[in-house]
Amino acid sequence: MLGALFWICQQFGFQSLILRNGATPRPGACDDGNPCTENDHCQNGTCQGTPFDCNPVDHCEGVTCDDGNVCTDDTCDPATGCITTDNHDACDDGDPCTLQDQCSGGSCQGSPMDCDDGNPCTTDYCDPNTCAGDTCTSTYCMHVVLEGPCDDGDLCTQGDMCVNGICEPGEDMCAPREMGPSPKTGCGCGATDVNGPMGCMLALLMLALLTRRNDF
């Protein structure tokens, strides 16, 4: 009897014997004993898994992930390969006309240099090639002298002109009416001139009043 059962198990398998005798297959996870399968589960009374490569490829083996960009951090994941992440490190964009260079969005960016000298009679700009013969400037800022109209900031002058890089005042519109040493206000010319006709009349009036007072 035992020999017959052993022969049947060899020929049809134990699980087949159970199923043939009316047993119900059990669903769920299982282990098929094969290290090269995954997600093993019961199917039709047998434990089956999905084969996978037991020798996965290492995507980092022999690979250099450095992209040469100082504004990225480069790493490697054996499963996926190179990973590049933007950083915010200080950098040098190679442009001498920018300041405070910093990485942003994977590139090195700087703020333009301010070369404004506050002189209305010069055009100011940054030139990275500031060598003339054997003479080079260290600031890279250039100031080209202008000729022509300008504004010296004095409301009492008009026709100001740039001369040798300096804004020379034009005609003083207050000069014909300048009165006394008082400073100008706006266009000035509102002070009393004790040496003018009005000042003289005022002085005579004061003298007459004083004389008449002494007569009493």
Between 18 and 45, residue with greater pLDDT? 45
Give residue 60's pLDDT: 87
Residue among 178, 177, 158 at smallest CA distance from 168: 158
Domain boundaries, the chain: 72-112, 122-177
CA 203, distance to chain mean position in Å, is 70
pLDDT in tens, 134-168: 666 667 888 999 999 999 989 899 999 999 999 99
Structure-block tokens of residue 33: 């004993």
